[in-house]
Structure 1
């Protein structure tokens, strides 16, 4: 979760863009559009989601690691779990 106003605004902007892409994709499917543009839109959405995930993960890692002089094993395990889910 972004904690400063600038990062929060950037995350919300990205989420709104993704929401708009999903709504456009739904309309295209309902209208029976060709597969190629739908697949292209899906790829764009995937890129937007991955970019948002990378930004949030970056911020979370920086905040967690900055809290203490040395990360605990629980912090390390949490980071590894987040990285694994991101890389799926």
Structure 2
């Protein structure tokens, strides 16, 4: 994933924020917080993960599907990889 190098620090920062949010969910569960509060925390995690996924999909499309100079086989492989992820995510 060398094409992610340019935004590597941004993606790591997002990942670390998500880890912090998951930690907040765990702490809320351990502290027996109100279910509404936990639902909000989980929804925030989901939103953050979706944002990270969106960002990586954009990078994948740019590097493995739409980049000039790719062969038809390379484009098909990039498309197939992305479809597999989308299918897995949508289950």
TM-score, with length taken from structure 1: 0.83
Q: How many residues align?
A: 86
- Name which structure has the greater RCO, CA cutoff 8 Å, separation 6+: 1
Structure 1 unaligned spans of 5+: none
C-alpha distance in 2 between matches for 1:87 and 1:41: 21
Moved over 3 A (4+): none
Q: CA RMSD in A?
A: 1.8
- Superposition TM-score, scaled by structure 2 size: 0.81
5+ residue gaps in structure 2?
none
The corresponding residue for 2:81 is 78
Aligned to 2:32: 32
